[in-house]
Amino acid sequence: MAMDGDILFSIITPSTGNRPNALKNAVSSVERAARFAGLKSNQLEILIGFDGVRGSAPACDYPVRTFSLPPDRTRGHGVRNTLLKLSSGEKLIFLDDDNVLKPCALSRYMLHREAEMVIGRIDAQLALGQPWLPVFDDGPLVRPGNLDLLCLCLSRRLVVDRCGGWRFRGEFDSSQRNIVDWHKRARSVTVIEEVVGIYDAGRSLDRAALSLRQEALLDSLVNERDTPLMRPEPRRSRHLALA
């Protein structure tokens, strides 16, 4: 349990500023998880970095710090790096503004406070062709497409002090490369099977503000729906001849 007065969790949230409903949903999920874990208001902070716009913080009983940052040309990676430098928590959680934490997430992470990297499961059925990430199979756990930032609870000593914050900002696969780097350099890794988050939970809350990935996903679903169905040929009876 965190000591009274210590910041245990820093929630890192980059935002484009045009998904206010989804952002409110994400912040509310953190508040629920913090209450479920029994955290006091000074044991958690939510850091929101608005990418090139001025935004406002959703109402929350836990501290929310907002920053209107210069436009980022690396899909929010620079925003994450800035927020990491401004964070004070012992543990770091990356929560995009269209994702949510499950109510049990923080309490589960607190059971493994000694681990520098905790990997949990997330509900991915709204965005991917599979129900969960990561997939537990015979392949390596840390591999492209098998882990998302939402799966992780990380020590600040690992991410900021030893790894220097958010690296590989100019690479399209920056998130995956950082995850691999943290995994290699973590002194302790714990894997839990509890579901700690929901990916794309806020996708439909701000219809005019879908990400490029979400637009591509919905376009593919529409294309599948518009594909003509093959009608089965009528079955002929063995005993009746057609005229």
How is 176-230 classified by DSSP, letter by letter? HHHHHHHHHH-S-EEEEEEEEEETTTTTTTSTT---HHHHHHHHHHHHHHHSPP-
Q: What's the confidence (pLDDT) of residue 177?
A: 96
Q: What's the confidence (pLDDT) of residue 211?
A: 55
Q: What is the pLDDT of residues 10-46, one digit of tens each?
A: 999 999 999 999 999 999 999 999 999 999 999 999 9
Half-sphere exposure of 91 (CA within 13 A, CB side): 26
Local confidence band at 2 (pLDDT 50, 70, 90 cut-offs): very low
Measured from the Cβ of residue 176, the count of other Cβ atoms closer than 10 Å reads: 19
Query: Which single residue is written with the structure tokens 């009274």?
Result: 4
Phi/psi of residue 224, nearest 5 degrees: -65, -40
Span 195-210, average pLDDT:
87
Q: What's the confidence (pLDDT) of residue 128?
A: 85
Q: Which of 109-113, 130-134, 239-243 has the lowest mean pLDDT?
A: 239-243
3-state secondary structure at position 122: strand
> Of 70-79, 105-114, 120-129, which has the strongest mean pLDDT?
105-114
Q: Are strands 117-123 and 132-133 parallel, antiparallel or unpaired?
A: antiparallel
Local confidence band at 129 (pLDDT 50, 70, 90 cut-offs): confident
Span 99-122, average pLDDT:
98
CA-nearest of 85, 125, 105, 86 to 34 is 105
User: 94 - beta bridge partners?
Assistant: 12
CA-nearest of 63, 49, 46 to 16 is 49
Query: Which single residue is written with the structure tokens 């089965």?
Result: 232
**Which residues, in sequence order, are CB contacts of 240 under 8 Å at separation 6+?**
none
Q: What is the pLDDT of residues 217-242, one digit of tens each?
A: 444 544 555 545 444 444 343 333 33
Q: What's the confidence (pLDDT) of residue 238?
A: 39
What mean pLDDT, rounded, does the chain reach? 87
Q: What's the confidence (pLDDT) of residue 130?
A: 85
Contact, 174 vs 74, CB < 8 A?
A: yes
Counted residue by residue, the chain has a size of 243
DSSP state for residue 49 in the 8-state scheme: E
Q: Estimate to the nearest angstrom the gap between the alpha carbon of 112 and the chain centroid.
A: 20
Is residue 14 packed enough to be buried (19+ CB in 10 Å), middle (13-18) or exposed (0-12)? buried
Q: What is the pLDDT of residues 136-162, one digit of tens each?
A: 999 999 999 999 999 999 999 999 999
Q: What's the confidence (pLDDT) of residue 72?
A: 85
Q: What's the confidence (pLDDT) of residue 154?
A: 98
Span 196-212, average pLDDT:
82
Local confidence band at 172 (pLDDT 50, 70, 90 cut-offs): confident
